[in-house]
Structure 1
Amino acid sequence: MQHRSEVEAADALKYAYEQIRAEIGKVIIGQDEVIKFVLISIFSNGHCLLVGVPGLAKTLLVQTVAQVLDLDFKRIQFTPDLMPSDIIGAEILGEDRNFKFIPGPVFSNIILADEINRTPPKTQAALLEAMQEKAVTAAGVTHKLSKPFFVLATQNPIEQEGTYPLPEAQLDRFMFNVALNYPSFKEELQVVKNTTSTHQVTVNKQLNAEQIIYFQQLVRNIPVTDNVLEYAVKLVSKTRPDSEFATPQVKRLLNWGAGPRASQFLILGAKCHAVLNGKYSPDIEDVRAVAKPILSHRIVRSYHAEAEGLSAGDIIEQLF
């Protein structure tokens, strides 16, 4: 893409975002918040964890996003017998008696890790290493992954039997943890009407890989004022029971707070949120807009919070 002023580029990203939303809206009815956070995490070069019951169109959403952004897409169904080599690939002995690396499904732009909590920690760790390093190592050789690289993992909140919940350190790799809710009555009527007829929808490609990488760089270049930076870091510090900013309420309700990665994601998410809303620099409102899905999986509630029925979201509301 040719060089343009950052203001023009920010306007171009806002326009592209609106076009992408319109195309996704042809297929996905409702779920506006979810779509917004998935797109913010792509433009912020982060990853996203979706938590929702089966049948809420999680797979369809990711397929549609990949189509509209003209990116390669692979779906990995996580099962208890899935091995790390089923994700990253393996060395096999070729006809010439030499070993060669056969890439696994992780070598794609968008990965849907379906029901990530159904597979043992060893296999989860293989994917999470790829997410962090943007590369995989097999037989001592490092293989770089495609760019852009985005993992959208889904987790089923029910049927916890036979599941392996992601540890806090691994949850921390995800920029957002987004809860999917059931559609409204009106939305569900529309979904059923569309999916039980011969109704066919064609979505048009809006961006390509090169443009997405350009916009990811643009988001990082957005200026941010010191007061917004301080607000974000202080908000994260408030979640840590032993911090100077922690209130007596936080000390009582939380056992563990968010780490520095949360502060980084708050600023990146706020920058992207600002641009998508026609601003050229984030303010405190932008930080608040992305705070819940960034902080909710990084704080560990105490016995008191659980006894009082307070969710992570309720506690984050109190921090504001």
Structure 2
Amino acid sequence: MDPLIIIRLSEVIDMKKKYIPYTMIAPYFILYIAFGLFPIIFSLAISFTQWDGIGTATFIGLKNYIRTFTQDKFFYQSLGNTTLLLLVNTPIQISVGLLMATLLKDFFKKTRGAFQLINFLPYITTPVAIGIIFQLMFDWKSGVVNGLLNLLGIDSVYWLGNAWASRGVVVIMEIWKGFGYMMIMFLSGLSTIPDELYESSRIDGAKWRHSFAHITIPLLRPIFTFVIVTSVINGFKLFDEPQLLFSSTSQPIGGPDRAVMTVVMRFYETAFNGFEFGYGSALAYCLFIIIAIVSFFLFKFINRESDMA
């Protein structure tokens, strides 16, 4: 064969080898740009407009953001509800998850796998199923919870029709769903702590609670940082469960007196019920700013505590 042809073929093969990796990863970047990056940029652009999703978008500058912080009373109510649920849910989820992880590691070694699966199942259960389950459990007339209260001689409670009772239901629902995830995170952290440290503490006469306080807690600090920050972010994004919990009742969005209306639910109501897509996008970016600020100060606080320790 002609040497020139051989050289040409080798050049073509080398060129194909050079571009094959880019061809293989191209679908990911195309999909990311189409369904990830473009919606982010587009929603930011329409947040400066007044647009109903059909007609022509009218540029109005920062009026949507000014309206959010100066005129929308439901935004502040939803922010207050979200913060309240976050402050109640997060400490309990973390505490229960840590307790379960420690008990499974120290006292249920043979059956730990089964208990891990049982406790983790709520976290992977679809929000629709969770909403239906808690609707049935806390139903005023035929709910299991009111049935148990009646057996104890206590009158039925209108759980989904009372502001504070509905908040309690959402708290219970979120704790039940989320503590299994916390348990898995803490178990992964506990698996990295050397057993020799616990054996040394037992030889020195330390009890279980002392080892837990002086060995387990300090060495789990990176896990605490991760679960606290992610819990705060996910807490501000709370939407599915409370929305579905009241989806089939005669209550307005957010339940009685909008007691469990979160910021994302306010965004949903504005954009998809009121067709104010420009203002809805502004609400979404206001939430993004709030999450970024809270996460920044949370990291600063945790890092300061680590430096002091």
TM-score w.r.t. the length of structure 2 is 0.27
Q: Identify the structure with the greater strand proportion.
A: 1
Q: Which has the higher contact order (CA 8 A, sep 6+)?
A: 2
Q: Which has the larger radius of gyration?
A: 2
TM-score (norm 1): 0.26
Structure whose residues are more often helix by fraction: 2
